[in-house]
Amino acid sequence: MNKNSTILWTILFLLFFSSCSLLPRGEGLEDPRTKGEKEFDPLGFEQDRVIVTEEEYPTTNEDSIWLEKKRREKTEGEGTEESESSVQEKVYRVQFFATKYPDEARQVADSVESQLSEKTYISFKVPYYWIRVGDCETKEEADFLLEKIKRLGYGESWVVEIKAKQN
CATH T-level assignment (fold) for domain 87-167: Alpha-Beta Plaits (3.30.70)
160 pLDDT above the threshold of 50: yes
Q: How high is the pLDDT of residue 96?
A: 93
Per residue in 29-45, pLDDT tens? 676 666 666 666 655 65
pLDDT confidence band for 79 (50 / 70 / 90): very low
Q: Average of pLDDT values for 107-117?
A: 92
- Report cis status (omega within 30 of 0) of the bond before 127: yes
Q: Would you say residue 127 has pLDDT above 50?
A: yes
- C-alpha dist (Å) from residue 115 to 65, 110, 119: 29, 9, 11
Q: State pTM to two decimals.
A: 0.48
Answer for the pair 129, 105: CB distance below 8 angstroms, yes or no: yes
Domain map (residue ranges) of the chain = 87-167
